[in-house]
Structure 1
Amino acid sequence: MRVLVTGHHGYLGSVLTPMLQAAGHEVTGLDTDLYADCLLGPAPAEVPTLRLDLRDVLPEHCAGFDAVCHLAALCNDPIGNLDPELTYDVNHRATLRLAMAAKAARVSRFLFSSSCSLYGAGLDDRPLTEDAGFAPVTPYGDSKVRAEQGLTELADDDFSPVFLRNATAYGFSPRLRGDLVVNDLTAHALLTGEVRLLSDGSAWRPLVHAEDICAAFLALLDAPREVVHGRAYNVGLSTENYLIRDVAELVAEIVDGSTVTFAGGASADARNYRVDCDRIAAEVPGFQPRWTVRKGIEELVEAYQRHGLALADFTGDRHQRLRRIQALRSAGRIDAALRWRDSQGRPATTGGAEGTGRAEGAAA
């Protein structure tokens, strides 16, 4: 297929794009490059890149593609809380704009990177299926709910959205995110000897490796339309739900010499849920997740050591997404709406496409 991947220079996109190419797909990326320089190790090979703002996509930009893998978003709760209205603008309204452009261009399949964050606060202790009610506790989670609802309204015989409700991601990527719980705990254990919890660790969280999320995208590209049309899937394994304190203990077990500690005043996390991933296992047999949290921690330790991860880089604006946004704003490189500025502080010119170009504009 010819596949457009939005956010291809992000944490997941840097893993998905090479996997799509290895499977024989022809990939074009769309990204703002807010995080293009946030590398740990070599960058993935470049692909043709659309240079435009996600919020400015037109049907002509989607012409000729068979599918869209839509990853681009303001990617976590701290960034979402920084400016909730901007989060809705990018994660909700720009998603629907992209979908309408894709539909007008006769793109048949639209795979949306949603999130289990839309479950927010589980109403009881049972694992949640895709039919559970939504209870988001942050603008990020709520923006995913609204995007799914809007995409459902666009679905018809010619336009087929599918919703990947990813569990909390972890694992190595060339554009590492340090603000993900397993990645964070493992780095601090290795670099400081402390597996430091900011909460009391009592919350449940489903966890899934970045490669397994990308494997789900590949499987859903190949799945029969009549099976997956308009369907939501919890992406992960039902056995990979963890109490955060148990993740911390597992990290301490694997990283020699590290111990679990709690930040002063640590309290319960409002985001507390387990999910049931049996639907994707039953309906999409091509999805075969390979990772467990234990294997992922071991992978991270090896990758951090191999690439010489330093604490200053991990805790600074290279691998912490919110700090990256704040640093770009403070330097005048982006404005309050996350649009790039030129050297004179004017809006940067966007639009067009090129083989390895830097995309500039909205958050991806």
Structure 2
Amino acid sequence: MNKKILVTGGAGYVGSVLVRALLKKGYQVKVLDKLVFGKGSLEEIKDQIEIIEDDVCTTGPEIMEGIDAVIHLAGFSTEPVSQYNPRYTDLLNHLATERMAKFAKEKGVKRFIFSSSCSIYFTYNTPPDPSPSKETDSINPISAYSLSKRAAEQAILELADDNFQPVIFRKGTICGWSPRMRFDLIINAFAKDAFSKKLLTVDAGGQVWRPIIDIQDVVLTYIKALELPLDKIGGKIFNISNDNWNAGELAQKIKEIVKNRKGIDIQIETRPVNITRNYKADNALFKETFQLAPSRSLDEIVFEIWDQLEKSPEIANDPIHYNDKWHLQLMEQQKNKTA
């Protein structure tokens, strides 16, 4: 019998790509998702999966019945909205994660893969060109989002034993097309702005560093985490990234890509704002353990997005593709309902 995987947040940016890949690999899939971004990302595969429309904060332990492994993606995924409501951020990203991990352990689900973030490495007074942070480095997260992710990591690692083996992925900034697209991530935003504005705006003189990872490589990593022996990955943290880029280099590279491929000149402007978040991640442990080379070039990633925008240019302005805008819009609607 094929293994059944529970994917929380399976209708989201990463989840909607991951679920399709799991089906192609022959896995059975159960999705737990509140569907705050709607059902559209899973519409074409809804008859091939089990979808539970519920919240990780309220669902019960029965969600784990018949499950062989959990990939826990659900949670707030952006810094600004997290700062807007730190208490709810901790509830969703930390306490709900601990809750789901306890359910998994109680039901005998040994493999629990958690989506954390490299943004926990950012702190105040980071130098303009920081050294890449390792998984073993001492960290001092400062934002509500980063604090919630670190607290979740610690909580599930404390549950680890011979019968429960969490695997933690601190993912870099993800890029690439998804059925639940996001245009608020740096490469996706640059690809969209190159298409729609022919202009790339770079903050802080372009000296903002990020670890970057292709969404296809994120998905391959999750699938490999289902296959690797737990004695290699259980109870461990991995920085998941292809490489570290600064915004100025990315903008220049995308300008060159578009010129070479489309013959279109893209302008770059810089804004002298303070660096708000700036960090690099060391990916040596990830590369050594997972043995995954980048599956696509930056050109391929950018023009997959470009091709989708040519088909449907109106999506560039839809707030559903910007997590901060969408969550704030939902919060405002909820406030009006209760006023």
- TM-score > 0.5 by shorter chain: yes
1:166 matched residue in structure 2: 171
Aligned mates of 1:249, 1:108 — CA distance in 2: 45
Aligned mates of 1:267, 1:38 — CA distance in 2: 37
Task: Please list the CA deviations of residues 255-297 of structure 1 after superposition, one character each: whole Å capped at 9, or x if unmatched.
Answer: 322111124xx32323222222121221223x44313434322
Task: Please list the CA deviations of residues 231-255 of structure 1 after superposition, one character each: whole Å capped at 9, or x if unmatched.
Answer: 1111122xx2111111111122223
Task: With the length of structure 2 as denominator, give the TM-score of the two structures.
Answer: 0.90
Aligned mates of 2:17, 2:276 — CA distance in 1: 30
CA shift, 1:38, in A, is 6.7
CA shift, 1:5, in A, is 0.1
1:61 matched residue in structure 2: 63
| Aligned partner (choices 254, 258, 266) of residue 258 of structure 1 | 266
2:88 matched residue in structure 1: 86
Structure 2 residue 272 is the aligned partner of structure 1 residue 270: no
Q: Contact (CA 8 Å) 1:7, 1:30: kept in 2 or not? A: yes
Structure 2 residue 255 is the aligned partner of structure 1 residue 247: no
Task: Please list the CA deviations of residues 80-100 of structure 1 after superposition, one character each: whole Å capped at 9, or x if unmatched.
Answer: 122111111100011101111
Q: Contact (CA 8 Å) 1:43, 1:174: kept in 2 or not? A: no
**Structure 2, gaps ≥5 residues long:** 259-263
Q: Larger relative contact order (C-alpha < 8 A, sep ≥ 6)?
A: 1
- Aligned 1:130-145 pairs, distance under 5 A: 130-145=135-150
**Structure 1, gaps ≥5 residues long:** 337-344, 347-364
- Aligned 1:328-339 pairs, distance under 5 A: 328-332=330-334
1:354 matched residue in structure 2: none
1:183 matched residue in structure 2: 188
2:121 matched residue in structure 1: 119
Greater CA drift, 178-187 or 125-134? 125-134
Identity %, equivalent residues: 30
Letter in 2 for 1:192: K
Q: Contact (CA 8 Å) 1:254, 1:298: kept in 2 or not? A: no
CA shift, 1:57, in A, is 2.7
Letter in 1 for 2:45: A
Aligned mates of 1:60, 1:21 — CA distance in 2: 23
Q: Contact (CA 8 Å) 1:38, 1:176: kept in 2 or not? A: no
1:318 matched residue in structure 2: 320
Q: Contact (CA 8 Å) 2:176, 2:304: kept in 1 or not? A: yes
Q: Contact (CA 8 Å) 1:206, 1:241: kept in 2 or not? A: yes
- Provide the aligned length of Structure 1 versus Structure 2: 326
Aligned mates of 1:279, 1:245 — CA distance in 2: 27
After TM superposition, the runs of 4+ consecutive aligned structure 1 residues lying more than 4 A away are: none
CA shift, 1:127, in A, is 1.9
CA shift, 1:51, in A, is 2.8
Q: Contact (CA 8 Å) 1:38, 1:318: kept in 2 or not? A: no
Structure 2 residue 221 is the aligned partner of structure 1 residue 221: no
Structure with higher helix content? 2
Letter in 1 for 2:277: R
Aligned mates of 1:166, 1:117 — CA distance in 2: 8
Structure 2 residue 209 is the aligned partner of structure 1 residue 201: no
Q: Contact (CA 8 Å) 1:168, 1:180: kept in 2 or not? A: yes
2:288 matched residue in structure 1: 282
CA shift, 1:299, in A, is 2.2
Q: Secondary structure at the match of 2:30?
A: strand
CA RMSD of superposed structures (Å): 2.0
2:75 matched residue in structure 1: 73
Letter in 1 for 2:170: R
1:353 matched residue in structure 2: none
Q: Contact (CA 8 Å) 1:215, 1:289: kept in 2 or not? A: no
Q: Contact (CA 8 Å) 2:81, 2:328: kept in 1 or not? A: no
